[in-house]
A and B are shown apart, each in its own frame.
Chain A
Amino acid sequence: MSESLDKQKKDLSRLNSDYATKYGFRDPVDYFHKGAKGLSHELVEMISRMKNEPPWMTERRHEALDIYLAKPMPQWANTRLLNEIDYENIYYFMKPVDQQSTSWDDVPEYIKKTFDRLGIPEAERTFLGGVTAQYESEVVYHSMREDLKKQGIIFLDMDGGLREHEDIVKKFFGTVIPSTDNKFAALNTCVWSGGSFIYVPPGIEVKVPLQAYFRINAENMGQFERTLIIADKGSRVHYIEGCTAPVYSTDSLHSAVVELIALEGAYIRYTTIQNWARNIFNLVTKRATAHKNATVEWVDGNLGSRLSMKYPCIQLIGEGARGEILSVAFAGQDQHQDTGAKVIHAAPNTSSRVTSKSISKDNGRASYRGLAKVHKHATGSKISVECDALLIGRDARSDTYPTMEIDCEQVRVEHEARVSKVAEEQLFYLTSRGLTEDDARLLIVNGFMEPFTKELPLEYAVELNRLIELEMEGSVG
C-alpha cells in the first residue's frame, strides 16, 4: 500500500505490542460445555445430539470418523511436524455459551472483550454487511444487516444453516469435499461445529462483504469449523475470514473444511487473513466448484501457525468458468507454510490464474505445492501460474512442487517460478536515500506483497502490513 509506512509506524507505536499482547491474550475458561479429550464415536454422537441434528448428519459424522481412523497420515509436506500433534490430548468440542447472541450486549463480557480487542464490532459497524464470530467450537455472535435479509440472502452459522435450511445443506454438504478426500477433511466432517452457511439467491449482488472471525482460546483445542457458500445463478458475494489464537505452550489444531459453489454466471470471492499463534497446526481443505461462466477467487493470506497445509482448489466444471487464486505465505522462525493452489479444468474455454507469493525469514520454510490439471475435452483453456519467493536471511528456505497434468492439446499454459533474496544492492539503494536498514527491508517486503495487498479491502491491507511489520521486527538480513 502506498503512503502507508509511516501510518503503520504510528499505528504500531500506538499498538506498542507484539502478537502475544495483541492477539495472544487468553480468557479465563468457564465453559458451558467442555467435553473430554480425545476422539470417539461417543463424542461424535454427543455433539450431534447436543446440536439436535437430523439422523442423516449424525450418520455422516460416524461414517467420517471411520474414514478418518482408516486413513494414514499424509506422508508429505512435513511428516515430522504432523507427528508432533498429540491427537489424544485434544479437546475436539468445546461449547463456550449456551446460546448464540445477535447483539454484542448479550455476549458474555469476557468474550465480547476479546472481539472488541480484535476490532470486530468496529469493523462490523463501519463496512461489513454481516458478521459471525466463532469462539472455540461455536458461533457466539451473529448478525446481518436487515436490508440484506430482505433480499433473501441467507447468512448463518453452519449449525443454524442446517436447522433452518436443511434441504439446501443436505443437497450440497460434502459434495465438493467428500469425507474420503483426505484425512483432515474426514476429521472435520466427524466433529465439525460452527463455520458459516451462505446462500445468495439468483441475480442478487451482496454489495458489502460478509465476515466470519474465528478465535481459538483454550489450550489443546481443536477447532473444526465447516463453511458452505452457495452463490445461485448470476449472484455475487465477497466473504472474509479472519483467525487468531492465544499463545500457549502446547499445540492446538485448526482443521476447517470450506466448500464453495458458484452456479452459472455467479461470482464468489473468498478472502482469508489468518494470523495464528505459532503453535497452531493449521490443516485446512478449501475447494470451490465453478459452473458455466462463473468466477471464483481465493485471496488467501497465511501468517503464523507452526505448520500450515492449505491448497485452495477450484474445479472449473462449466464452459467459460474462471478461477483465480492469489496467496501470500509468511514463514518466520520455526514455521513451515506448506501452501499452494489447485486448478482443475474440466470444461472447454475455462481459464485460471494462480499467483503465489511467499516470504521466508530466519529458518522459516515456505513451500508451494500446486496442481494444474486439464481434462481431455477442456479445449481452449488457459492456465497461468506464477510463484514468487522472497528469502530473508541465509537460513530461509523455499521450495516449489508444481504438478501439471495436461491431457488436452489445445490449451495455453504459462508457468513461472522465481526465487529472490532481499538483495544487498536493493538495500543499499534505499539506505543511500536515508532509510534505515530495517525500514528499507520492510519497504521491499511490502512492495513484494503489493500485488496481494492491493486486492484487500483497505482496512485489511493496513492490518496485513502491520502484521508483516511485526514479523519483520528484529530480523537479521
Chain B
Amino acid sequence: MTEKNKTLFEFKDIHVRVEEKAVVAGVSLSIKPGETHAIMGPNGSGKSSLSNALMGHPAYEITRGEIYLNGHNLKDMSADERSRAGLFLAFQYPLAIPGVTVANFLRTALQSHRGKEADMSDFRKLLKTEMKALAVDEAFATRYLNDGFSGGEKKRIEILQMAILNPKMAILDETDSGLDIDALKTVSDGINRFHNENNGILLVTHYQRMLNYVKPDFVHVMMNGKIVKSGGPDLALKLEDLGYEWVNEEANHKAGV
C-alpha cells in the first residue's frame, strides 16, 4: 500500500446532539491525503453542527461514532488537542475577541502548536508573507481579532490562520460566503496554495462559485443530518441548476417512502 492509499481523515457514523436536539444522524466520510471534498446542503441540514462536533465543540455532543486523523482517535480529545493533532476549522461566523491583536493571537496559537516560543523575527516574516499573499492589509496585525471586521475580512483572517497553522486537515465552513468576487479569487488562491498531496480539505458551501477555483474530488449532499448523496464535481453543477428537491425525492424513493 502506498502513502496515497492511506486514509488521512475519517469519521464513521457520527451522531450529534445539541441542546437536546439530534442534528446529525449518522454521517460517515473518508478523506485521503491530497483530496478535496465538498459538502453541500440546505440551511439547517446540520453542516455546521457536524463541523463543530468534529472540532470538539463542547456543546455539540457526539453521541455515537468515531473520528480518526492519521489513525489517531480524536474522539476523547479536547478542541485544543485536536487542533494540535492537525485539525482545523474555519468558522462560518468567526467571533470577535476584543483587546487581543491578530498578531498576538496567532503567535500564541503557533506557540501552542510548536510547544515552544516562536522566534519573533521568524514569526513576523511568516505573518507578513501570508498576509501579503491573502491581500490582508498589514494594519490588521495590530487590530483586535475580528473586532469590527467586515464579513469578508473575517473570512480572510480565518484562511490566514489556516495558512499559518498549516494543519493536516482543514474544514472550511462557508468560507466563501460574504466574499466579494475579487476576494473569492484571492481566498481560493490561498486555499490552493495551502493544499498539497499530504493534506486534506473539507469544504462546506452553498454555491458552485468557489468550486470553480477550489476543485473538489468529491461532492456530498447533506440533508436532515445525513449524507444522502455523493458524487464527483458535476454533482455540484447539477445542484446549482436543479436545487435539492430532486435529491430529496431520489432519497425518498430509495428508502421506499
Seen from chain A, the residues whose Cβ lies within 8 Å of a Cβ on chain B are 2-6, 10, 423-426, 428-437, 439-440, 443-444, 446-451
Contact = CB atoms under 8 A, between A and B. Distances in A.
Interface stretch (B9-17, B83-91, B216-224, B237-245): B83-91
Interface string B131-155: 0000000000010100000000000
Q: Top 10 A-B pairs ranked by shortest CB distance?
A: A447-B99, A450-B99, A447-B100, A434-B112, A434-B83, A433-B109, A431-B79, A2-B104, A431-B80, A2-B101
Contacts of B59: 424
A432 B80 CA distance: 5
Nearest to A451: B99
Interface string B92-122: 0011011111011101110111000100100
A452 B109 CA distance: 24
22 contacts: A2-B101, A3-B104, A4-B104, A6-B108, A424-B59, A428-B55, A429-B91, A431-B83, A432-B82, A432-B83, A433-B161, A434-B165, A435-B112, A439-B112, A443-B100, A444-B100, A447-B98, A447-B100, A448-B98, A448-B99, A449-B99, A451-B99
A97 B202 CA distance: 73
B80 A425 contact: no
Contacts, number: 94
Given A431-B79, A434-B109, A439-B112, A426 B95 contact: yes
Nearest to B82: A432
Given A4-B104, A432-B89, A447 B112 contact: no
Contact of B94 (A429, A443, A444): A429
Contacts of B57: 428, 432
Contact of B103 (A3, A432, A435, A437): A3
A2 B108 contact: no
Of the candidates A428, A433, A446, the one having the most CB atoms from chain B within 10 angstroms of its own CB is: A433
B61 to A, nearest CB: 13
A424 B83 CA distance: 17
B108 A435 contact: yes
Contacts of A447: 97-100, 144
B231 interface: no
A339 B159 CA distance: 43
A436 B99 CA distance: 19
Given A434-B109, A439-B112, A426 B97 contact: yes
Contacts of A3: 103-104, 107, 120
B46 interface: no
B48 to A, nearest CB: 13
B56 interface: yes
A434 B55 contact: no
A447 B146 CA distance: 13
Interface of B: 55-59, 78-80, 82-84, 88-89, 91, 94-95, 97-101, 103-105, 107-109, 111-113, 117, 120, 142, 144, 161, 165
B80 A2 contact: no
Given A3-B107, A4-B104, 12 more contacts: A3-B104, A3-B120, A425-B95, A426-B97, A428-B55, A430-B97, A431-B79, A432-B55, A432-B57, A433-B112, A436-B112, A447-B100
Contacts of B94: 429
Contacts of A4: 104
B56 to A, nearest CB: 7
A188 B15 CA distance: 66
A424 B100 CA distance: 17
Of the candidates A425, A429, A439, the one having the most CB atoms from chain B within 10 angstroms of its own CB is: A429
A6 B117 contact: yes
Contacts of B100: 443-444, 446-447, 450
A436 to B, nearest CB: 5
A449 B144 CA distance: 13
Given A3-B107, A5-B104, A434-B84, A428 B58 contact: yes
A66 B47 CA distance: 74
A448 B147 CA distance: 12
A450 B111 CA distance: 21
Contacts of A446: 99-100
A2 B117 CA distance: 15
A5 B107 CA distance: 9
A424 B52 CA distance: 13
Given A2-B103, A5-B104, A447-B97, A428 B79 contact: yes
A433 to B, nearest CB: 4
A3 B55 CA distance: 27
B98 to A, nearest CB: 6
A444 B79 contact: no
Nearest to A3: B104
Contacts of B98: 447-448, 450
Contacts of B142: 2
A3 B100 CA distance: 10
Contacts of A424: 58-59
Nearest to B98: A447
Nearest to B109: A433
B104 A433 contact: no
A183 to B, nearest CB: 38
A440 B91 CA distance: 17
Contacts of B97: 426, 429-430, 443-444, 447
Nearest to A450: B99
Given A432-B89, A434-B80, A434-B84, A6 B99 contact: no
Nearest to A5: B108
B108 A439 contact: yes
A445 to B, nearest CB: 9
A242 to B, nearest CB: 23
Contacts of A449: 99
